[in-house]
Amino acid sequence: MSSECQYQIPTIDFSIHSLEVDRGTKEWYSLCERVREACENNGFFEVVYDKIPLQLRAETFSMMRQVFGLPLETKKKYCSPRPYGGYLGQNAKLPLFESFGLEDPSNHESLRSFTQLMWPDGHDQFCNTVFSMVKKLDELKHMIEVMILDSYGLGDKSKSIMASTTLLRIMKYSSPPLGQYMQGLHAHTDKALSTILCDDQVSGLEIETKDGQWLKLSFSPTSLVFVVGDLLMAWSNGRMHAAKHRVMISGEKERYSLGQFVDPVEGTIIKAPKELVDEEHPRILKDFDYSKFSKFFYSEEGRAVDTQMQIFAFAGIH
């Protein structure tokens, strides 16, 4: 991964590690510490991970090109009340951007329902390919979550940060008019717990550092990016940094990317564990209902607030 400035992007190699074999070893805790430091100091890190075969990545992006190539009236059939679910596109403010939010993507039947809506005879290859990709992303997500818990000494007390579901967003950015450098997706922090991003090696992702620099990132063929969301920042009582990011597009190639967004289950109360509250880190947010926060950031009132401040506008301790 590269940038146009001298900022040192955190890069962590997970390829040689496995949760079942390594947990509890000295190397494991060293890796946990690096994950925590990257989440606290940067809000993101590059994940080097060779356990997703290159062929699977290539097939996944091939399937994505097929679904985005369908007629607009077909794509619009996929609707969802869930924030960022369903089909999104044809937005005058984001003319280059389209996405599908695939709900419950680790459920084969859920994927089958989607393909039967898009294609009259379904699409077994799409189902099998995306299912395989999601399974790999789920394994990686779980390992990183356990590392975060272990890094704060909470691994013996909890098996997960919170009960969650995943939303797989597959995204397409059309190429802009020749010579133009255009916004593909506006600057934002993710309203999820965390996000793992993967692209087809057409650059565009930019992440803002704590001191306000925008970094242009480019992936290696075996890399992904882990991004801290607002809810992980809230859970950690502000120790972790929710990184603001955007997509800027130039050149002649379309850009495809996918993101695994981890959301709490309906009715979850977001609160920091007592172990993460002390004199040095006083409580910064009231306990809050995720579903109510979700409604807030989608509302007119919520959208009027800067993306990084929405969670404080909703649940800040004044």
- Domain-located, residue 288: no
Strands 11-13 and 44-48: parallel
Digit-by-digit pLDDT tens for the chain (318 residues) are 444 445 788 999 987 767 776 888 898 999 999 999 999 999 999 999 989 999 999 999 999 999 999 999 999 999 988 777 899 998 899 999 999 999 999 999 999 999 999 999 999 999 999 999 999 999 999 999 999 999 999 988 888 899 999 999 999 999 999 889 999 999 999 999 999 999 999 999 999 999 999 999 988 888 999 999 999 999 999 999 999 999 999 999 999 999 999 999 999 999 999 999 999 999 999 999 999 999 998 888 988 999 999 999 999 986
User: Cα(259)–Cα(239) distance, rounded to whole angstroms?
Assistant: 24
From the CB of residue 315, how many other CB atoms can be counted at a distance below 10 Å? 19
Specify the pLDDT at position 6. Answer: 59
- Tell me, yes or no, whether 307 lies in a domain: no
Q: Are 189 and 250 in contact (CB under 8 A)?
A: no
pLDDT of residue 252: 92
Q: How many CB atoms lie within 10 A of CB 311?
A: 26
- Integer Cα distance of 147 and 23 in angstroms: 9
**CB-CB contact of 141 with 166 (8 Å):** yes
Which pLDDT score, from 0 to 100, does residue 220 have?
A: 86
Residue 128 and residue 105: Cα distance in Å, rounded? 11
CA atoms of 234 and 210, how far apart (whole Å)? 17
Q: At 204, which amino acid appears?
A: G
Instruction: Measure the CA–CA gap between 307 and 185, rounded to whole angstroms.
Output: 13
Q: Are 247 and 184 in contact (CB under 8 A)?
A: yes
What's the CATH number where 162 sits?
2.60.120.330
The number of folded domains in the chain is 1
Domain range enclosing 243:
11-269
212 vs 191: CA distance, rounded Å: 20
Residue 39 lies in a domain: yes
Assigned domain for 4 exists:
no
Inter-residue contact 224 to 45 (CB < 8 Å): no
* pLDDT given at position 60: 98
Q: Is residue 17 part of a domain?
A: yes
pLDDT for position 14 = 87
Sequence-ordered strand ranges (E) for 124-252: 164-173, 182-188, 194-199, 205-208, 214-216, 223-228, 245-249
**CA separation for the pair 273, 250 (Å, rounded):** 43
Domain membership of residue 126 (yes or no) is yes
